[in-house]
Structure 1
Amino acid sequence: MLKYESIFQSLLLQIQAGDIPAGTKLPSIRNLTQRYSCSKSTILTALKKLEEQHILYSIPKSGYYIVEHQVFKTPSITDSIDFATSSPTWHAFPYKDFQHCLNKAIDTYQQDLFRYGTPKGLPSLITEAKKLLESYQVFSHSEKIFITSGVQQALSLLSIMPFPNNRSTILVEQPSYHLYMDMVRTYRLPAVGIKRTAKGIDLNQLEQIFHEKNIKFFYTMPRFHNPLGTSYCKKEKAAILQLANKYDVYIIEDDYLADFEYNSKNDPLFTEDFHERVIYLKSFSKIMFPGLRIGLAVLPKALINTFQQFKVTTDIDSSMISQAALHLYLKSGMYEHYKTKVSSIYHSRAKTLQQSLQTHLSMCESSSEIVMHNHIVLPKQVNMKSFIHRLQEKDIYLDSVEMNYLDDFYHERILKLNVSNVNEHRIEEGIKEIAIELKKTKNYFL
């Protein structure tokens, strides 16, 4: 081992052990050269390596200081099978690549970090976002694209701002995105639901609601619905668009899993919207990480000014550092490379999930889509809470969709099955255990 590497390891071990706490100044270069019996350049090389790993920082004419003693540790392997967690596989993300983009963003946009940005978002990111959206068959002018602090912010602004149709009631699929249901409850937004199952929605009921209710917009996830995992067919999407135009209803299309679409013919609702009825939302939380807090919103021309006014009063602009880093991540091609890699992994898991459901739980209603999350509808004889508890005792974690419903809408007996954080070779094992537990239920097959 080279001398500077042994010094690096020695200092690192002291820092990790907490012998040199965060914020502490290291001994002087002269003191360290005497302690380790080496040259000044050797000490500086070891310190530079610690600085590159963000373990310490330097202040000119002052010295080196400890940033943090804790360092990342590879997560330990557990025996559990977690079908409940829907967040991405966090430790698989190429942090070094994105870290390069963060560092470069700070260097490139130094001046911009010390002033407020624009309500629409970083112009260079909007340019790259426009190209990305086109890969999803979402073609729009740059002035219609907004950068938001996650899709959650876009949903919040759209829910409270006035619309040209001067209506107030929101229509949501049931079940739907649980955080949006929380928002509806928290802000006491006027909302009604329409039942969605593995077979879709009742289009006749949709027309009746559009006709009789004061519907401002219809919030929907046309493909890879959360939490059901289902998608609308082309005919259903055309019918929804036709009804929206007929009854002057806007549509919020949450396309949060656009990156995982393998069917090139399955386009968003937005693609066939010729009457500017669709508001298209795109999230990066599933393909990258939720902490990025960046989302895209593509708006009809009639909503642009109002949306911008409401966004200015909320946060002026979304995080400039996140925007700048994402811009570089997209422009460099890193995003496309990572998307190809991770979508392949998830697609493989999704196929295993679908095959396992067909083999072991064909008696239960579920989605036929090949996607990383699915669902099963439990029979009435099964006590859902105790069923989940019994599986948990076997280290298999499940969750219901209770929080995905409006309070006054009938709650179906649905279990979510997400394989985002389940190793592929454990998926069938987990599904098989669920099937075994179901068969134990008294009178289930009578």
Structure 2
Amino acid sequence: MKELYNIVFEEEIPKYIQIANYIKKLIDGKKIKDGEKLPTIRALTDMLEVNKVTIVNAYKKLKSDGYAYQKVGSGTYAKKREVISLFNREYSKIIKSLTLERLEEVIDFTGETNSEVYFPVAEFKDVLNEVLDRDGANALIAKEALGYENLRETINKSFWDEELDIKNLLIVSGAQQGIDIASKAIVNINDNVIVEKPTYGGAISVFKWRRANIFEVALEEDGIDLIAFEEILKKNKISCFFTMSYFHNPTGISYSKEKKLKILELAKKYDFYIIEDDYLSELIYDNNIIHEPFKKLDKYDRVIYIKSFSKIFLPGIRLGYMVTPTSFNEIIQRSKINTDITTSSLMQRALELYISKGYWKENIDFQREEYIKKYKLMKSLIENELNDYIRYIDPKGGLYFYLEIKNKNITSKELFYKLKKRGVYITPGSIFFKDSVDGDYYFRISFSQTSEEKIIKGFKVIREELS
């Protein structure tokens, strides 16, 4: 072991920094394995012939930089720094390169938001003009850190039957910012968080950035595996659980009421918080699914609720809202202010008027009628064209299907590249896992950005490549 820690010190740099940087290189170079116990403070003090405080400070720096964690009474352990996989980077670059002109030529099954053809531009333009006529310059320059008060009141009235305390509601720039703000408030370096397996890649990125220890729990047809979930809770102090309660991204699964109630009880029992991203719950196609998010059932004040208007309304307006537990009000509001001070006043006022005039409900009803046609078409094609090659769970809502390749003769990454050559784009499952290899035989296909004609054509190509 002494040969491994062969450090030649430089005079200009503090020794504890040199030691920390040296151990980082050993971890990155896999000479020290992830989870391997580091030498005791006394042992490393003797090996390097430095004082005890130097080693203590070096280990503190390793922990603060996300390269080590401590087990009480056991010692300090190496932690491999999480990095985004090369494929994830390449996939992101490829999808971002699809310009509007290119989208006309290809079949895009990767979309996560509604199609612009379903957005009433003329109607929203009238609302914007009405806001400018009514509020003048205030519509452009007014700054309200927690969000436009009338919008917050309208959200409470229109979506929550005035059940919320408006002090707990703040406007954010979409769900991603909401997750980021919540994590800054409740997740510190080396804290433990639980996510669903698979889950939204943006959430994984946030928790990795916070240098959190991420535990994954597999999904069943009505939510996470509760037995595996509680086993983690028994053995580890958990800060939060991130969940997408309706039409989960990417699986399309929605939680049963029974599981939601049980998880809320566990949150109280084991003292953790739930970050709930209520994703696409407006697009329910089955009357047996009732919209009753965790927050609605939360009698313990354990849920940080996040809702984006961008996914279902118009991505370009970048608006959403959070409902926070009273105990976290101050810290979450401070985190929001430190992030961007304020969100577009004009768009907030326009959205408030759009909702209060009843246009929001009309547009959502229209979208639901249009999307259910594509949902039924895609479901039919899956069952009739791909039945020999894939398995799936019917989401009964949302904008996509999550498919598992049955015979494992091709990975979803390989399928992605084959389809790309033929102008068809899918989302490989690896994007949604902490460790990308876990999603090798899954892929997501969305119908939000694709016409019915292109859906039929695209499925023919997918069938040919799978066969």
Fold shared per TM-score above 0.5: yes
CA contact 2:413–2:440 (8 Å) conserved in 1: no
Aligned length: 363
Segments of structure 2 that go 5 or more residues without pairing to the other structure are 1-99
Of all paired residues, the percent bearing the same amino acid is: 29
Aligned to 2:60: none
Indicate yes or no: 2:248 matched with 1:221: no
Partner of 2:41: none
Q: In the aligned structure 2, how far is the partner of 1:431 from the partner of 1:391?
A: 11
**Superimposed CA distance per residue, residues 222-246 of structure 1 (whole angstroms, 9 cap, x where no aligned partner):** 2100011111222222222222222
SS of 2:438 mapped into structure 1: coil
TM-aligned CA deviation for residue 310 of structure 1: 1.7
Residue 119 (structure 2) pairs with residue 93 (structure 1): yes
Matched, 1:421 2:446: no
Aligned to 1:175: 198
Cα distance change on mapping 1:162 and 1:233 into 2, 3 Å: closer
Q: Secondary structure at the match of 1:152?
A: helix
- Map of 1:207 onto structure 2: 230
CA distances 1:250-289 after superposition (whole Å, capped 9, x unpaired): 1111112121124352421222221111221111112112
Deviation at 1:194, TM superposition (A): 1.6
CA distance in structure 1 between the partners assigned to 2:189 and 2:415 by the alignment: 46
Q: Which residue of 1 aligns with 2:351?
A: 326
Shift of 1:116: 5.0
Q: 1:161 maps to what in 2?
A: 185
| Alignment of structure 1 residues 350-361 onto 2, 5 Å | 350-361=375-386
Q: Does structure 2 conserve the Cα–Cα contact (< 8 Å) formed by 1:167 and 1:216?
A: no
Change (3 A) 1:287 1:162: closer
C-alpha separation in 1, matches of 2:117 and 2:394: 29
- Which letter maps to 2:446? N
Once the two structures are TM-superposed, the CA of residue 82 in structure 1 deviates from its matched residue by 1.7
Distance in 2 (alpha carbons) for counterparts of 1:235 and 1:199: 9
Hey, what's the Cα distance between the residues in 2 that align with 1:176 and 1:429?
A: 29
Paired AA for residue 100 in structure 1:
D
Deviation of 1:331 (Å): 1.3
* Counterpart residue type for residue 173 of structure 2: S
Q: In structure 2, do the counterparts of structure 1 residues 122 and 78 end up closer, same or farther at CA, with 3 Å as the change threshold?
A: closer
1:25-59 Cα distance to aligned partner (Å, 9 max, x none): xxxxxxxxxxxxxxxxxxxxxxxxxxxxxxxxxxx
Alignment of 1:242-261 (within 5 A): 242-261=265-284
State whether structure 2 residue 266 is matched by structure 1 residue 240. no
- 2:431 is matched with 403
Matches within 5 A, 1:19-418: 78=104, 80-113=106-139, 116-134=142-160, 139-162=163-186, 168-196=191-219, 198=221, 200-262=223-285, 263=287, 265-363=290-388, 364-371=390-397, 372-378=399-405, 379-407=407-435, 410-418=438-446
What is the root-mean-square deviation in Å for CA atoms of aligned residues? 2.7
SS in 2 for 1:153: helix
The two structures have a TM-score, normalised by structure 1, of 0.75
- SS across alignment from 2:450: coil
Secondary structure of residue in 2 paired with 1:365? strand
Structure 1, 297-306 or 402-411: larger mean CA deviation: 402-411
SS in 1 for 2:240: strand
Cα offset for 1:345?
Answer: 0.8
- Contact 1:83–1:398 (Cα < 8 Å) also in 2: yes
Q: Are the aligned partners of 1:167 and 1:215 in contact in 2 as well (CA < 8 Å)?
A: no
Q: Which amino acid aligns with 1:177?
A: Y
